[in-house]
Amino acid sequence: MPRAKNNVAAHKRHKKVLDRAKGNFNGRSKLYRTALETVNKGMTYAYRDRRNKKRVFRS
């Protein structure tokens, strides 16, 4: 019996990343590996800048 690799969950994970990477250029929106890097970096910037926005409004 062949081994089941839980492709449903993997496909869902990949789809989530690629959906978040929409609007990026070339492979950044098409290839999972580069899209993942882009999305992670984007999320980091988003987290950082939500805090910076509060800082700007206070000043």
Predicted confidence at residue 17, as pLDDT, reads 97
Read off the pLDDT band of 5 (50, 70, 90).
Answer: confident
How would DSSP label each residue in 31-57?
-HHHHHHHHHHHHHHHHHHHHHHHHHH
Predicted confidence at residue 19, as pLDDT, reads 97
Q: Give the CA diameter of the chain.
A: 65
* Tens-digit pLDDT profile for residues 8-59: 999 999 999 999 999 999 999 999 999 999 999 999 999 999 999 999 998 8
Domain boundaries, the chain: 7-58
pTM score: 0.79
